[in-house]
Structure 1
Amino acid sequence: MVEPEAKQEATTQSVFPLNGVKHSIIVPPSSAVPAFHGKHSESPTQFLIRVQEYAESVHAWDRPTLLNGISQFFRDSALEWYCQLRMSHRRPQTWTEFTDVFLAQFNSPVRKAKQEQEWHECKQKEDETINEFLVRLRALWKEQKPKETEADLTS
Structure 2
Amino acid sequence: MTDPVKLLLVKNLRVTPCRKKVLEIFARKNRALSHVEIENEINNEFDRVTLYRTLGTFTQTGVLHKVPNDTGAAKFALCKENCDEHIHRDEHVHFKCIKCHTIKCINSVDVPEISLPKGYQIHSAGLIIEGVCPLCNK
Q: TM-score per shorter chain, which class?
A: under 0.3
**Structure number, greater radius of gyration:** 1
User: Could you say which structure has the higher helix fraction?
Assistant: 1
